[in-house]
């Protein structure tokens, strides 16, 4: 299957190569020239693992051995064999994406990506080691470390902002085991770490740092190998509703998605394009509401301060995967997309043509939820339905309610739950009661005894684990740091 960039069609590669390269040479994202066919009815009758296999193979047909790869990626790593269970909570259905090894939804993709990458590497006869460089504001780092730990032929280095991640998130990363992992704090904020990583890529020639034999790659959600596995859980949620008799085949279902980089919700859009009866996709943001403004007005404007919120994984001003949506909804107008992206780069904003805005508004609805509203939602959801949500999920929940109230659309609603409440124990506990301690591990215990919801084993065991990665560097030192790690 041919993949090319969202910004031009000259560089054409197959799906295995697209996964290896991650980002197209012109800075655009890889998209398939034509979306594949999927037998939706057959797919909906399968278990999650077979569904994953069918969907990922359809999206990445040149990557062989898919049943084996899916098996290795997921078997035994999630709390439930079905990977991503759905649960009823009042009149919402919650799709729990956080039952994986690091308790964040990124596990669904980052368990699979290493398998896809190493298979593609083997098929293409690549012998050089791959070095994954990732800057993280918290969740991606740990999920990527867990996914890539001890994977042969691959090394990984994660940079996080010193003091910029929660205590739980830091503990998750600095205790990571594995012979091919490095974790390092950078003095500065997330943007400094992210810019540092981008500079490393810019310093590379033919994908390698000067004098270094390793091929650089990234685990961020711009990689199509990260996006494809996320399509599966939309099908899974739909099949759960079918099986419970809540819908009939063909009925449309709405999905509300806590959104940052626009990867998760784009997977929902692709599920719809592959034939799943998806109704409206609801894009939920926090106080960083660039996407809300964009979907309502057609103007994307990043010229605003970045707010630090209780849902840090959505604290983002430039949502990379939106570029893919612009490509698909403009019927593949690479000239338009590349012009818009250039404008964003040089002027900090762009406006899409009226016809494109209309199409976006047919598929999407958007809203945002500030910290105060998120706390109130956590409390109300707990008291009314007995469901304990994390601050990201609370944003999805609140915006779903707002959507229903303002449109009267009563089609079944699935809220995507993207993290365990125990990854953000301070914020969740404070929403319910007064914390007895400032220590996040004590807060976990207090939250668990208050609600009776068990702490996931991967988080409760963290406190006792030895810290292995305590390096802190200045952003100017990132290049020499990367060159030294083995």
3-state SS assignment for residue 94: strand
CB of 262 to ligand PLP, least distance (A): 5
Contact 144, 134 (CB under 8 A): yes
Active site residue 106: yes
The one segment of 103-111, 268-276, 293-301, 457-465 that binds ligand PLP by CB under 6 A:
103-111
Nearest CA-CA partner of 379 in 332, 443, 434, 340: 434
Instruction: Give the x/- contact pattern for ligand PLP in 309-328, rule: CB under 6 A.
Output: ----xx--------------
| Strand-strand pairing, 3-5 and 30-32 | antiparallel
Task: Pick from 238, 262, 387, 441 the residue near ligand PLP by CB under 6 A.
Answer: 262
Token pair 């867990």 is at which residue? 146
Q: Which is nearer to ligand PLP, 155 or 263 (CB)?
A: 263
Q: Which is nearer to ligand PLP, 155 or 260 (CB)?
A: 260
| Strand-strand pairing, 8-13 and 3-5 | antiparallel
Q: Which is nearer to ligand PLP, 103 or 443 (CB)?
A: 103
CB of 389 to ligand PLP, least distance (A): 11
Q: Which is nearer to ligand PLP, 214 or 392 (CB)?
A: 392
Task: Pick from 28, 85, 258, 412 the residue near ligand PLP by CB under 6 A.
Answer: 258
Q: Which is nearer to ligand PLP, 59 or 314 (CB)?
A: 314
Q: What is the rounded CA–CA span in Å between residue 337 and residue 369?
A: 29
Q: What is the rounded CA–CA span in Å between residue 255 and residue 279?
A: 8
Q: Is 419 in the site for ligand PLP (CB under 6 A)?
A: yes
Contacts of 334 (CB under 8 A, 6+ apart): 5, 6, 7, 8, 9, 28, 327
CB of 418 to ligand PLP, least distance (A): 3
Integer angstrom CA distances of residue 292 from 193, 256, 317, 368: 26, 13, 11, 7
Q: Which is nearer to ligand PLP, 183 or 322 (CB)?
A: 322
Q: Is 392 in the site for ligand PLP (CB under 6 A)?
A: yes
Instruction: Give the x/- contact pattern for ligand PLP in 335-374, rule: CB under 6 A.
Output: ----------------------------------------
Q: Which is nearer to ligand PLP, 424 or 481 (CB)?
A: 424
Q: Is 121 in the site for ligand PLP (CB under 6 A)?
A: no
Torsion, CA 182, CA 184, CA 189, CA 195, rounded to 10: -50
Q: Which is nearer to ligand PLP, 217 or 313 (CB)?
A: 313
The one segment of 257-265, 331-339, 425-433, 450-458 that binds ligand PLP by CB under 6 A:
257-265
Locate 336 and state its tokens: 């338009």
Largest CA distance in the chain: 61
Measured CA angle at 156 (ends 150, 159), to 5 deg:
140
Q: Is 115 in the site for ligand PLP (CB under 6 A)?
A: no
- Side-chain half-sphere exposure of 408, counting CA atoms within 13 A: 0
Nearest CA-CA partner of 105 in 232, 271, 193, 275: 232
Q: Sheet harboring 30-32: ordered strands across?
A: 8-13, 3-5, 30-32
CB of 320 to ligand PLP, least distance (A): 8
Rg of the chain taking only CA atoms, in angstroms: 21
Q: Is 104 in the site for ligand PLP (CB under 6 A)?
A: yes
Q: Is 264 in the site for ligand PLP (CB under 6 A)?
A: yes
- Write down the catalytic residue from 88, 106, 208, 236: 106
Q: What is the rounded CA–CA span in Å between residue 99 and residue 107?
A: 8
Task: Pick from 261, 285, 286, 309 the residue near ligand PLP by CB under 6 A.
Answer: 261
* 183 Rama sector, left if φ>0, alpha if ψ -120 to 50, beta otherwise: beta
Task: Pick from 7, 54, 99, 106 the residue near ligand PLP by CB under 6 A.
Answer: 106
Task: Pick from 169, 180, 418, 446 the residue near ligand PLP by CB under 6 A.
Answer: 418
Instruction: Give the x/- contact pattern for ligand PLP in 186-225, rule: CB under 6 A.
Output: -----------------------------------x----
Q: Is 259 in the site for ligand PLP (CB under 6 A)?
A: yes
| Strand-strand pairing, 92-96 and 86-89 | antiparallel
Q: What is the rounded CA–CA span in Å between residue 170 and residue 148?
A: 18
The one segment of 100-108, 177-185, 238-246, 427-435 that binds ligand PLP by CB under 6 A:
100-108
Integer angstrom CA distances of residue 142 from 162, 219, 423: 15, 11, 12
Task: Pick from 21, 139, 240, 402 the residue near ligand PLP by CB under 6 A.
Answer: 139
The one segment of 59-67, 202-210, 260-268, 431-439 that binds ligand PLP by CB under 6 A:
260-268
CB of 251 to ligand PLP, least distance (A): 26
Q: What is the rounded CA–CA span in Å between residue 109 and residue 326?
A: 23
Contact 112, 225 (CB under 8 A): yes
CB of 310 to ligand PLP, least distance (A): 11
Measured CA angle at 98 (ends 218, 373), to 5 deg:
100
The one segment of 22-30, 102-110, 197-205, 456-464 that binds ligand PLP by CB under 6 A:
102-110
Residues binding ligand PLP (CB under 6 A): 104-106, 139, 221, 258-264, 313-314, 392, 418-419
Active site residues: 106
């Amino acid at each position: 299957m041919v993949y090319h960039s969202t910004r031009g069609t000259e560089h054409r590669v197959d799906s295995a190569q697209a996964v290896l390269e991650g980002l197209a040479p012109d800075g655009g994202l890889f998209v398939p020239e034509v979306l594949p066919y999927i037998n939706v009815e057959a797919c909906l009758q399968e278990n999650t693992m077979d569904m994953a296999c069918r969907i990922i193979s359809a999206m990445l047909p040149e990557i062989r051995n898919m049943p084996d790869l899916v098996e290795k990626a997921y078997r035994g790593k999630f709390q439930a064999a079905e990977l991503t269970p759905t649960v009823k909570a009042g009149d919402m259905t919650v799709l729990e994406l956080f039952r994986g090894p690091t308790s964040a939804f990124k596990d669904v993709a980052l368990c699979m990506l290493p398998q896809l990458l190493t298979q593609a590497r083997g098929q293409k006869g690549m012998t050089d080691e791959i070095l994954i460089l990732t800057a993280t504001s918290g969740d991606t780092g740990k999920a990527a470390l867990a996914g890539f730990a001890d994977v042969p032929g691959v090394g990984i280095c994660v940079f996080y902002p010193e003091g910029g991640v929660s205590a739980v998130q830091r503990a998750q990363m600095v205790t990571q085991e594995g012979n091919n992992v490095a974790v390092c704090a950078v003095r500065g904020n997330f943007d400094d770490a992210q810019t540092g990583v981008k500079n490393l890529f810019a310093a590379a020639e033919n994908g390698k740092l000067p004098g270094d034999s390793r091929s650089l790659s990234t685990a961020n959600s711009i990689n199509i190998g990260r996006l494809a596995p996320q399509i599966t859980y939309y099908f899974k949620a739909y099949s759960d509703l079918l099986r419970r008799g809540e819908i009939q085949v063909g009925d449309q279902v709405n999905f509300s998605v806590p959104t940052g980089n626009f990867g998760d919700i784009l997977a929902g859009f692709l599920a719809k394009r592959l034939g799943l009866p998806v109704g409206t996709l609801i894009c939920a943001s926090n106080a960083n509401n660039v996407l809300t403004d964009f979907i309502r007005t057609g103007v994307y404007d990043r010229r605003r301060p970045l707010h630090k919120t209780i849902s840090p994984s959505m604290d983002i001003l430039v949502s990379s995967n939106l570029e893919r949506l612009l490509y698909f909804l403009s019927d593949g107008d690479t000239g338009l997309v590349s012009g818009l992206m250039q404008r964003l780069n040089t002027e900090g904003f762009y406006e899409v043509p009226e016809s494109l805005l209309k199409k976006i508004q047919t598929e999407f609805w958007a809203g945002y939820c500030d910290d105060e509203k998120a706390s109130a939602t956590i409390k109300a959801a707990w008291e009314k339905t007995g469901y304990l949500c994390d601050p990201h999920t609370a944003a999805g929940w609140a915006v779903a309610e707002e959507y229903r109230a303002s449109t009267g659309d009563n089609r079944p609603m699935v809220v995507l739950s993207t993290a365990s409440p125990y990854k953000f124990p301070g914020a969740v506990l404070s929403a319910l009661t007064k914390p007895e301690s400032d220590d996040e591990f004590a807060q976990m215990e207090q939250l668990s005894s208050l609600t009776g919801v068990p702490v996931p084993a991967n988080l409760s065991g963290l406190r006792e684990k030895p810290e292995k990665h305590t390096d802190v560097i200045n952003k100017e030192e990132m290049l020499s740091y990367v060159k030294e790690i083995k």
